[in-house]
Amino acid sequence: MKKNQLLVCLVSSVAIAGFSGCAPKSSDSSSQPAQPAMADASTNAPAAKKPKDKRPIEQRLVVGMTMDQVKEACGNPKNVAMNSDGSATWMYNDSEKAFIPNYTLFGGRIHYVTVIFGPDGKVRSWSSGSNGMY
């Protein structure tokens, strides 16, 4: 009999302790969700970042863009080549997907973009494509 009473007491105390941590405070349930504080223009707080452009790289490029504009729109290139005539070639790709097991085996494709800059440092042209197993 004492074992049953001890077991009931133990289970009850564990249940009470477990449920007491889950109950919300009464002041929290009626309050509004917290709003992020707006940065004051007079302070030296950093400005909010622009949302990342999700469009394909080809849609972000325009003939005549400078290297800085391309870097801002598309990010840092994976590879850079300088040519003897002063032009440059930047290469972008999403090859990190190749580390996903069997990604290309099951139809996944690696997309790549090559941006060609003239000797003046502005976009002359670009090409793109994709490759995979099939």
pLDDT category at 2 given cuts 50, 70, 90 is low
What's the CA gap between 57 and 65, in Å, rounded?
A: 13
Q: Stretch 106-112: mean pLDDT, rounded?
A: 84
pLDDT tens column, 3-33: 555 555 555 555 555 555 555 554 444 444 4
* Mean pLDDT of all residues in 64-87: 94
pTM: 0.58
pLDDT, averaged across the chain: 75
Number of domains in the chain: 1
Residue 25: inside a domain, yes or no? no
- Output the domain CATH number for residue 81: 3.30.1450.10
CB atoms near residue 77 (< 10 Å):
19
* pLDDT of the residue at 27: 47
Q: For residues 133 and 105, is the Cβ–Cβ distance under 8 A?
A: yes
pLDDT at 99: 79
Residue 41 lies in a domain: no
In a domain, residue 113? The reply is: yes
Is the residue at 114 inside a domain?
Answer: yes
Q: Is residue 117 part of a domain?
A: yes
- The answer to the question of residue 5 being in a domain is no
